Amino acid sequence: PTVFSVTMALGALALSKEKAIVSKLSAIEEMAGVDILCSDKTGTLTKNQLTLGDPILLADTDPQDCILAAALASRIEDRDAIDTAVITALKDPGAMKAWTLTKFTPFDPVTKRTEATLTDGTGQTLSVAKGAPQAILDLAKPAAEVAGKVQQTVSDLAAKGSRALGVARCTDGGNWSLLGILPMFDPPRDDSKATIDKANEKGVRVKMVTGDDTAIAVETARQLGLGTHIIPAADAFPKDMDPNQVPSDIVDAIERADGFARVFPEHKYAIVKALQSRGHLVAMTGDGVNDAPALKQADCGTAVSGATDAARGAAALILTAPGLSVINSAIDEARRIFGRITSYTIYRVALTMDIMFLVVLSSIFLGFQPLTAVMIVVMSLLDDVPIMAIAYDNTRVSEQPIRWEMPRLLGISAVLGF
């Protein structure tokens, strides 16, 4: 145990220089055997630098008026990528000062929208909302013709890899009015495709997990070189499904999928659990409070750069640099560490057999002492020198995920020991 701990501690030190902090030493051993990496999309595979396109107007006639309504339903202090993009796109930020915020409902993964209630100097009350187009449609309940146009617009934008943000407004407690759709594009990170290709070369399959719409996920996956077999989790998983008891047909679908779209927090946990039930070692990335259960369940939960304290607390590996490129370095280092531990195990078992046959059996059955007491002490000291060297060994990196194979280890050890 001491050698294992020291070897992994030295590995953790090496990983920290690669901008990956290990919070649980056992995760290093598991990272070496990871064969599936479930990666968040926004901010991990993409830059999380949203750019706002020209608004597609419905009940509104002024593009800036639609953006103002979305900006009033945002808070710049939250440093949310969507909120920042909306407020930045406002040509006259001073227009927001005419309104006083009285109530704000932050984004909820279930409702998928933010709402704000405001008043102006004349006492007029204004309610604004922005969020997923379907959530805004459910709120505003427009005519079937308008709803159809919105859905077509969202599909067209998604086919180009752009997200859509619905904006609605309600004045003095009246009916909600669907103002328009704001197109938003979040480009992939420059290093994401190369990182995914390298992970595939190491025998690690990357599956994208995102809350975005399926069409957006498919287009992003295409740009990154991932497979385009994306499952909409909200449709594939029954609402009353126990995440600890995922039906076998759904587990089969999860194994085949290249990624998952429209994912809720509870789906992430179910995805990890399902893959583990088939013998996979799973690494999962996340950054939010709602990712904590999946990060804790994963064999190597990884909190990405900018993650919340809850996500970091649940994760075994914490990345301090944005993107996924650090993951490849972590996998390489983990496999080196595992190689050192394997080398130590083979050496230790072989040495035990050596001493047992040479010293013990010869003394008991052959009736003579092959070694004097001084020789035994010197041999023990010399045996410990390679053990210390193994912790720093320049180990070859395995090309495939590696796990404990005790029959092989014992076989090699027995031959060397004999």
Contact 153, 164 (CB under 8 A): yes
Q: How far apart are CA 61 and CA 168, in angstroms?
A: 13
State which amino acid sits at residue 371.
Answer: L
Contact 227, 258 (CB under 8 A): yes
* 3 state DSSP class of 231: strand
Q: Catalytic annotation on 383?
A: no
Q: Could you give phi then psi for residue 52, rounded to 5 degrees?
A: -90, 130
Residues paired with residue 300 on neighbouring β-strands, in sequence order: 283
State which amino acid sits at residue 397.
Answer: V
**Kindly report the CA angle at 220 between 212 and 71, in degrees rounded to 5?**
45
Handedness of CA 307, 310, 311, 317 (dihedral sign): positive
Closest listed residue to residue 274, CA positions, set 252, 291, 296, 259:
252
**Nearest 10 degrees: Cα torsion 62, 63, 67, 70:** 70
State the catalytic residue, choosing from 40, 83, 212, 299.
40
Q: How far apart are CA 235 and CA 238, in angstroms?
A: 7
**In the structure encoding, which two tokens stand for residue 19, read together?**
């901008």
Q: How far apart are CA 260 and CA 213, in angstroms?
A: 10
Contact 161, 41 (CB under 8 A): no
**In the structure encoding, which two tokens stand for residue 203, read together?**
């025998």
Q: Which residues are catalytic?
A: 40
